[in-house]
Amino acid sequence: MNHLEKFEDYHKKKILRELKQAGILLTEINIPIIISETSFQTRSQKHPNQCPYYSQGEPCHSIENLNCFLCVCPEYHSDKDEGGCRINHRSGKWHSPYPYSQSNQVWDCSDCPFPHFPTYVEQYLRKNIEELRKIKEEV
Q: What is the pLDDT along the chain (139 residues), one digit of tens a residue?
A: 877 789 889 999 999 999 999 999 999 999 999 999 999 999 999 999 999 999 998 998 888 899 999 988 899 888 888 888 998 888 888 889 888 888 899 888 888 888 999 999 999 999 999 999 999 999 9
- Using a 10 angstrom Cβ sphere, with 0-12 exposed, 13-18 middle and 19 or more buried, the burial of residue 71 is buried
- What's the pTM? 0.85
- Rounded CA Rg of the chain: 15
State which residues form the domain around 72. 3-138
The Cα 128–Cα 47 span in angstroms is 25
The Cα 86–Cα 15 span in angstroms is 23
Q: Total domain count for the chain?
A: 1
DSSP state of 94: E
